[in-house]
Amino acid sequence: MRFLLSNDDGILARGLAALERAAAPLGDVYVVAPDREQSATSHSLTMHHPLRPVQIGDHRWQVDGTPTDCVMLALEALIPERPNFVLSGVNHGPNMGEDVLYSGTVAAAMEGLALGVPAIAFSFAGSVLRADAMLDDHVGTIERILRHVTALPAFPEHTLLNVNIPPIAASQVQGFRLTRLGRRAYSDSLMRMKDPWGRQIFWIGGGSVDWKDSAPDSDFQAISDGFVSITPLHLDLTHRDILDRAEQWWRPL
């Protein structure tokens, strides 16, 4: 078994170290990760300047680019053989509901899938500060998922798994729940501030998150019930239901 690991918190992040520790007993681990934090870079690709990978260890490169750059470079150029899985994370913070559209962590997994490699994104669904303190405790939780998934007779086609780990001690985790993406509502996430020269600036982030739906099968509900949430995602954004009901909203031109 061969794994490619990346993340969006940068190659020094504790979450990446935790993921490495979880994957190492199962096979060969290659790490190609951004040289600095790239959270919320979504699926962006660096096209207007070159990328310079630096090999910093055995099976280990840092790249001055985005998570998507890292996975593309790894699969197309840096690592000698195709991995069986691309693993991304563990992100220091949740990636649930619409977060997956902004997330660099999920984007790295998406890039693996787009290049034909099954992928899993892992996120710690608590605050950044708690992630630092609690990630090591969840190495076993992640390893259990990896052991299960790598033993499957077939990983589902065109699918990535988006895993969120609840912000509680590993011994308190209630189990694993298959979920769908919930829907959230951020409030006060645009901070109005002044720069040191008194000019108006804005800082996106912070605020509070409310969830618009608390359906029992949502990712948010699983986390709030103390379960690990596992949401299968695919890259096809087509709204199939609305296509099936086209006669209700579209007249042939």
Instruction: Note the residues at the interface with Mn ion (CB under 5 A).
Output: 8-9, 39, 91
CA 167, 206, 231, 129 dihedral sign is negative
C-beta of 39 vs 218, nearer to Mn ion: 39
- Cα–Cα distance, 67 to 191 (Å, whole number): 27
Residues 124/167, Cβ–Cβ less than 8 Å:
yes
Among 31, 230, 205, which Cα is nearest to 128's? Answer: 205
Q: How far is the CB of 37 from Mn ion (least distance, A)?
A: 7
Q: How far is the CB of 93 from Mn ion (least distance, A)?
A: 6
Among 130, 132, 161, 166, which Cα is nearest to 148's? Answer: 161
C-beta of 14 vs 59, nearer to Mn ion: 14
C-beta of 1 vs 12, nearer to Mn ion: 12
Q: How far is the CB of 91 from Mn ion (least distance, A)?
A: 4
Question: Angle at the Cα of 221 (from 219 to 226), degrees rounded to 5?
Answer: 100
C-beta of 2 vs 94, nearer to Mn ion: 94
Residue type, 192: R
**Chain residue whose CB lies nearest Mn ion:** 39
C-beta of 205 vs 207, nearer to Mn ion: 205
Residue type, 56: I
Q: How far is the CB of 94 from Mn ion (least distance, A)?
A: 10
Q: How far is the CB of 107 from Mn ion (least distance, A)?
A: 11
